Structure 1
Amino acid sequence: MMIQATKWFLCVMMVIASTNAGLLCADQEGESSSDPVLELVGKMTHPELREVSGIEFDQSQPGVWWAINDSGCEPKVYRMDRWGEIIVDNDALDDVAVGFELTGAVNVDWEDLTIYNGMLVVPDMGNNWNARQNLGIYFAELPSAEVMAGPLEILRHVRVRYPDQETFPATQFEFDCEAVFYLDGKLHVLTKQRMGQTKLSRIGTKLYRLDKEDEEVVNELTLVDRHETIGPWVTGADVSPEGDRLAVLTQFEVWIFERPEDSDKWLSEGKATRVKLPRDLAKQAEAICWDDIQTLRIANEQREIYTLDVRLCDEEMSADALTYGS
């Protein structure tokens, strides 16, 4: 009896220690193990970076990340260093202009960005009330390393719509997007869902693909896949440099999906690792990107930047076996 009580006490203490360590990784039985792999690496202190909603690593410019602000802010992209500081000319004055403004663009609700084929890709697809009929994507050329700030010409603007949204606003709020990535030459978007027609969060997401980028028409997205238990609130996504893993950021977790063989159905057919984020650190996590094949970068609305070493949390389980809250 004493031995059993001692074992029970040790188990309780291990769970407490794991929770205090910060980051929990779901294993194949749905239980939790932990490693202190979420590391604070910087803070975005510049006053123009007041509500960062998307970040992306620039593989063409070492040590450079791009960031955008949320709805209502200037239609700008910002070049940052690894610590979250805006990169400016060392000889510039303190009040020098920063950021690159997309000429003629409007930031109705920018929530994520990505890079493809030498272009910055900025979707304007935030849709809190599911009533927008002007969803679109801006494409702009990546500024050269020698240019610190200034206007940025829009190469093209592509309008899009969801194939399964029939009313505006929708009867069920599941047509908001805060997460995008490019893969195999096509843009993919993940939705953020709410309960009914309310602001209340709801678990689940849908994955769409943009098959055409015709500037003359409204391009219909293709519904590819869905996941009923991820979340709540998908707020960011990025595909790994090698294209074999998809990181999806939610309000409380990061899900890492392995690409299924001969399929685009990452969510329902891919193997997945679910990483529970410590709420006292992640807070309101809004943006995620891969720094390299083993490191994820996460930014929150409190302007903090963290990195996550995925090597220290590599348990796998099939996506359909994961249940939120397990």
Structure 2
Amino acid sequence: MSPRIRPAALLRLAWTIAFALLLTACAAESPEDTSGARLSGLVVDPQLDEISGLAASRLHPGVLWSVDDGGNPERLFAIDARGQRIATFRVEGVPKTDWEDLASFELDGRAYLLIADVGDNGGLRRSLQLHVVEEPARLENARLKPAWSIAFRWPDGPRDCEAVGVDVARRQVLLVSKKREPPELFRLPLRAPDEGLLTARRVGTLAGVPRPVATPDRPLTRLQRMQSHVTAADVSPDGHTLAVMTYRHLLLYRRDARQSWRSAVTDAPDVRVLPVLPQAEALAWSRDGRTLYATGEFIPAPLYRIVP
């Protein structure tokens, strides 16, 4: 009697084959150098189908945290560097409109995760929220409650945003707009002075974001026009580099200890071409700051380690 193959195993095999074919096809069309990237794992878990934010754990070596897009329950996922889910945490007491990024940081001897409910595809939201939860000490399914939340608005009307990082030394949250050209950088205090609605402060605009160029005989497609949209960001653990991801590129804005972020993002960034990453949505510095992790929104999603 032939052994029975479980449907889940068949589905994983189909995903893997489809992803391999996609890699081959895209690599043939893209001769650009992505030598700094190595495949770390493959996300195939159906519950991780819409990863929109990624952060490296400050408590658990080798563990990454992730959130998914709007329309899903309020939850955090712990995954390993191969892309396999370890545990799921429900976040209680907060609504979920459009969670679009995640950041990890340490403050006063404790490890935290900042959940950015800042997505606004239609440009309709009058207020947005950041929720900070303390990292759980144990990696097992459980429930979490925010340690604090920040409600805020933009200074001059709604805009879409999917990129947030924490500069813990300056007690600031950095936010990068998605669809504006050039992208705008904003900041908020990491701890709100009260429970009122804050207004994000505009810091400046990002220089050097690559944009495709149209020609008279070859106009840009919609996908090409979207390539420069910023979809994720993270501040390195040492606080000296802001990593920004678009659908096509990784940009590294470096600053010295005395330089402001306003000054740093006006300098030309170090630009890298992303490896094959359909719907690039999530980016995170590793715990030691030596590499970056990047993945996409739809499974099967490759999980890359990128040496900056």
- Offset of 1:124 from its aligned partner? 0.6
Does residue 182 of structure 1 match 2:177?
A: no
- 2:126 is aligned, of 133, 151, 165, to 133
- 1:104 is aligned, of 93, 100, 117, to 93
Tell me the SS of whatever aligns to 2:45. coil
Q: Is the 8 A contact 1:64 1:82 kept in 2?
A: yes
Q: How does 1:1-326 map to 2 (within 5 A)?
A: 24=32, 34=33, 36-87=35-86, 98-116=87-105, 117=107, 118-144=111-137, 146-165=138-157, 170=158, 175-183=159-167, 184-193=170-179, 203-211=181-189, 213-227=192-206, 230=209, 232-260=228-256, 261-265=258-262, 268-278=265-275, 281-291=276-286, 292-302=288-298, 303-310=301-308
Q: 1:66 to 1:266 in 2, by over 3 A?
A: farther
- Offset of 1:267 from its aligned partner? 5.1
Q: Is the 8 A contact 2:253 2:265 kept in 1?
A: no
What TM-score comes out, normalization by structure 2 length? 0.76
Between structure 1 and structure 2, the one with the greater Rg is: 1
Structure 2: distance between partners of 1:270 and 1:127: 28
Q: Is the 8 A contact 1:188 1:207 kept in 2?
A: yes
Structure 1: distance between partners of 2:253 and 2:56: 19
Tell me the SS of whatever aligns to 1:242. coil
Structure 1: distance between partners of 2:279 and 2:265: 26
Q: What is the RMSD of the two structures over their aligned residues, measured on CA atoms? A: 2.1
Amino acid at match of 2:303: I
What TM-score comes out, normalization by structure 1 length? 0.72
Tell me the SS of whatever aligns to 1:48. helix
- Offset of 1:157 from its aligned partner? 2.1
Structure 2: distance between partners of 1:219 and 1:299: 31
- Offset of 1:39 from its aligned partner? 1.7
Q: 1:182 to 1:78 in 2, by over 3 A?
A: same
- Offset of 1:110 from its aligned partner? 0.3
Q: Is the 8 A contact 1:226 1:267 kept in 2?
A: no
Instruction: Give the corresponding residue for 2:23.
Output: none
Deviations 1:204-251 (A, max 9, x none): 211111036145210111111112652611000111121111110001
Q: Is the 8 A contact 1:156 1:215 kept in 2?
A: no
Q: Is the 8 A contact 1:259 1:271 kept in 2?
A: no
Structure 1: distance between partners of 2:119 and 2:231: 10
Moved over 4 A (4+): 19-24
Deviations 1:109-128 (A, max 9, x none): 00101123222110111011
Q: Is the 8 A contact 1:235 1:249 kept in 2?
A: yes
Tell me the SS of whatever aligns to 1:133. coil
Tell me the SS of whatever aligns to 1:111. strand
Q: Is the 8 A contact 1:23 1:277 kept in 2?
A: no
Amino acid at match of 2:235: V
- Structure 1 gaps of 5+ residues are 1-18, 25-33, 88-97, 195-202, 311-326
Tell me the SS of whatever aligns to 1:107. coil
Amino acid at match of 1:189: L
Q: Is the 8 A contact 2:208 2:269 kept in 1?
A: no
Q: 1:252 to 1:297 in 2, by over 3 A?
A: same
Identity rate, percent: 29
- Structure 2 gaps of 5+ residues are 1-26, 211-227
Tell me the SS of whatever aligns to 2:46. coil
Structure 2: distance between partners of 1:119 and 1:43: 26
Structure 1: distance between partners of 2:135 and 2:198: 24
Q: Is the 8 A contact 1:112 1:236 kept in 2?
A: yes
